Structure 1
Amino acid sequence: MELKQARFEQTERSAKVGGFEMDLATGTIIWSDQIYRTVGLPVGKRMTSEEVIGCYAPEERESVRRRIRDVLDGSAAGIDKEYRIMTPQGEERWVRVVSDIERLSGKPSRLFGIVQDVSEKVRYEQRLLQAANADPLTGLANRAAFNAHMERLTAADAPSIGLLLIDVDRLKQVNDILGHATGDLLLKGVASRLDERLGKRGKVFRLGGDEFSVILDAPASARRMGSLARHLIEYIGRPLQVGGSTINPAITVGGAISEGRMDAATLSQNADFALYHAKETRRGSYIHYEPSLRSRIARRIQIVREVESALTEHRMVPHYQPIVACADGQVRAFEALVRMRRSDGSIVSATQFHEAFTDPSVAYHIMTRMLEQVAADIRGWIDRGLEFGRVSLNISASDFMRGDLETRIVAAFASRGIPLDKLMLEVTETVFLQGMEDAVATTLQRLRKKGLTVALDDFGTGYASLTHLRSLPVDIIKIDKSFIDTMLVDESSLAIVELVLNLARKLDMKVTAEGVESHRQAMRLLEMGCTTLQGYMFGKPMGRERVGEYLCARKPGVTENVERPQEEPRRFLG
Structure 2
Amino acid sequence: MRRALTSVYRIMSNLSHASGLGYFDSFVTELAAAVDADVVLVAGRDPVTASFELHSAFPATLGIQGSRVPIAATPGEIVLQQGEAWFCDRLPQLFPQAPLFIAHRVRGYAGIALRDAQGQTIGICSLWFRQGMDSMDRVMSVLRLLAPLAGRELALSLSRTDVPAKLPLPAMDSMLAHAPVGIGKLDLQGRLLWANPAIEKMLGYREEELLHRTAAELHHPKDWLRSLACYGELVRGERSVVTLEKRYRHKLGHELWGRVTVTLVRNERHEPDHLMLLLENIDDARRHAEQLKLSHRVYDNLSEAILVCDADSRIISVNPAFERITGYSSEEACGLTPSILKSGLHDKAFYADMYHTLSRVGIWRGEVWNKRKNGKLYPQQLMISALREGGKITQYIAISSDISQTKLAEQKIATQANYDNLTGLPNRWLFGRSLTRFCERGERFALMVLDLNNFKAVNNSMDHHVGDALLREVSDRLVSRVRTEDLVARIGGDEFAFLVPGIVSRRQAEVFAKQVQGSFARPFMLANQQLYITATVGVTLCPADGSESDELLRNAEQALFAAKRLGRPLESYCASMREEVRQRHQMQQDLAEAIKQEQLTMAYQPIWDNRSGRVAKLEALVRWYHPHWGQVSPADFIPLAEEAGLIQSLGALVLWQSCRDLARLQQSGFPELQMSINRSTLEFQTIDPQASEWLRVIEHFGLEPSDIIIEITESLLMESSDQHRIRIESLREAGCKLAIDDFGTGYSALTYLRTFPVDLVKIDRSFVRHIPFNEQDRLLLDGIINIVHNLGMQVVIEGVETREQLSFLCQKGCAFTQGYLLSRPLAFEDLVAYLEVNRAGMSLPIVS
TM-score, length-scaled by structure 2: 0.48
Q: Secondary structure at the match of 1:119?
A: strand
Q: How far off is 1:301 after superposition?
A: 3.1
- Aligned equivalent of 1:245: none
Deviation, 1:113, is: 7.4
Aligned partners of 1:411, 1:341: CA distance in 2, in Å?
29
Closer, same or farther: CA 344–16 of 1 in aligned 2, 3 Å: closer
Offset of 1:476 from its aligned partner? 1.7
SS at match of 1:341: strand
User: What displacement does 1:257 show?
Assistant: 8.3
- Secondary structure, aligned partner of 1:393: strand
- The equivalent residue for 2:675 is 391
1:400 to 651, 676, 684: 684
C-alpha deviation, 1:162, in angstroms: 7.6
Q: Counterpart of 1:410? A: 695
CA distance, structure 1, for counterparts of residue 394 and residue 494 of structure 2 = 52
Q: CA offset at residue 165 of structure 1?
A: 9.6
CA distance in structure 1 between the aligned counterparts of 2:351 and 2:381, rounded to whole angstroms? 18
Residues 603, 826 of structure 2: 8 Å contact kept: yes
- CA-atom RMSD, angstroms? 5.6
Once the two structures are superposed, the pairs formed by residues 276-295 of structure 1 within 5 Å of their partners are 290-291=572-573
User: 1:425 — aligned with what?
Assistant: 710
Between the aligned partners of 1:194 and 1:484, the Cα distance in structure 2 is: 39
Summarize deviations over 1:20-54 as a string: whole Å, max 9, x none: 577xxxxx75344249868665333344xxx82x6
Aligned to 1:55: 341
Provide the residue aligned with 1:457 in structure 2: 741
Say yes or no: does 1:478 pair with 2:762.
Answer: yes
- Whether 1:44 aligns to 2:326 is no
SS at match of 1:315: coil
1:317 aligns with 2:604: no
Counterparts of 1:311 and 1:366, CA distance in 2: 6
Aligned counterpart in structure 2 of residue 88 of structure 1, from 370, 373, 384 = 373
Partner of 2:401: 119
One-letter identity of the residue aligned with 2:843: R
TM-score of the superposed pair, with normalisation by structure 1: 0.67
* 8 Å contact kept, 1:133–1:143: no
Per-residue displacement from partner, 1:38-84 (whole Å, max 9, x unpaired)? Answer: 8665333344xxx82x623443235436769x98xxxx999845241
Task: Tell me the secondary structure at the aligned position of residue 613 of structure 2.
Answer: coil
Equivalent residues in 2 for 1:38-437 (5 A)?
41=328, 42-47=332-337, 52=339, 55-64=341-350, 80-84=364-368, 85-89=370-374, 90=376, 91-97=378-384, 114=396, 116-119=398-401, 222=513, 259=542, 263-266=548-551, 268-270=553-555, 290-291=572-573, 297-343=581-627, 347-359=631-643, 361-387=645-671, 389-404=673-688, 406-433=691-718, 435-437=719-721
Please give the secondary structure, in 1, of the residue aligned with 2:754. helix
Call closer, same or farther: CA 1:488–1:450 in 2, change over 3 Å: same
For the Cα contact (< 8 Å) 2:445–2:501, is it kept in 1? yes
1:413 Cα shift? Answer: 0.8
- The letter for the 1-side match of 2:350 is V
- The residue that corresponds to 2:843 in the other structure is 570
Letter in 2 for 1:386: F
Give the whole-Å Cα distance in 1 for the aligned partners of 2:431 and 2:783.
54
Aligned positions of 1:515-534 closer than 5 A: 515-534=799-818
What count of residue pairs does the alignment treat as equivalent?
A: 503
Give the C-alpha shift of residue 368 in structure 1.
Answer: 0.6
In structure 2, give the amino acid aligned to 1:322: P
Deviations 1:405-425 (A, max 9, x none): 722221101122210111112
CA distance in 2, matches of 1:258, 1:390: 54
Structure 2 letter corresponding to 1:420: P
Q: Cα distance, 1:534 vs. partner?
A: 1.0
Write the letter of the residue equivalent to 1:59.
L
Per-residue CA distance 1:114-142 (angstroms, 9 max, x = gap): 45324379988997998799669x99999
Post-superposition shift, 1:458? 1.7
Residue 86 of structure 1 and its aligned partner are, at CA, apart by 2.8
**Code of the aligned partner of 1:500:** I
- The verdict on how the C-alpha distance between 1:259 and 1:77 changes in structure 2, with shifts beyond 3 A counting, is farther
The match for 1:562 is none
Find the partner of 2:787 among 480, 503, 524. 503
Superposed displacement of residue 144, structure 1:
7.5
CA distance in 2, matches of 1:29, 1:313: 86
Q: 1:395 to 1:281 in 2, by over 3 A?
A: farther
CA contact (8 A) 2:447 2:553 kept: no
Distance in 2 (alpha carbons) for counterparts of 1:200 and 1:333? 50
Deviation larger for 216-225 or 405-414: 216-225
Letter in 2 for 1:416: F
Residues 415-468 of structure 1 show CA distances to partners (whole Å, capped at 9, x for unaligned) of 2221011111222212223x2354434432332233222222222222323212
Distance 1:515 1:139 in 2: 47
Relative contact order, higher structure (CA 8 A, sep 6+): 1
Give percent identity, aligned residues only. Answer: 20
**Any conservation in 2 of the 1:203–1:217 contact (CA below 8 Å)?**
yes
Distance in structure 1 (CA, Å) of the matches to 2:398 and 2:433: 31
Alignment of 1:4 with 2:288, yes or no, is no
- C-alpha separation between the residues in 1 aligned to 2:445 and 2:798? 49
Distance 1:374 1:256, change over 3 A: same
Check the 8 A contact 1:100/1:113 in 2, yes or no. Answer: yes
Q: Distance in 2 between matches of 1:287 and 1:485?
A: 25
Corresponding position: 1:544 with 2:828: yes
Q: 2:727 aligned to 443, 448, 469, which one?
A: 443
Q: Is the 8 A contact 1:256 1:267 kept in 2?
A: no
CA distance in 2, matches of 1:483, 1:531: 16
CA distance 1:46–1:451, change in 2 (3 Å): closer
Which secondary structure does the structure 2 equivalent of 1:471 belong to? coil
CA distance in 2, matches of 1:117, 1:349: 75
Shift in Å, 1:338: 1.0
Partners of 1:420 and 1:58 lie apart in 2 by 81
Cα displacement string for residues 252-302 of structure 1 (whole angstroms, at most 9, x for unaligned residues): 999878846955434554566578789x979xxx99884256565545434
SS, match of residue 703 in structure 2: coil
Query: Contact conserved, 2:384 with 2:399, CA < 8 A, in 1?
Result: no
Distance 2:442 2:335 in 1: 49
- Partner Cα distance (2:825, 2:335) in 1: 98
Moved more, 292-301 or 54-63: 292-301
Q: 1:116 to 1:253 in 2, by over 3 A?
A: farther
1:513 to 783, 797, 808: 797
> Contact 1:154 / 1:263 at 8 angstroms: preserved in 2?
yes
Letter in 1 for 2:379: E
Unmatched segments (≥5 aa) in structure 1? 23-27, 102-109, 175-185, 239-251, 557-567
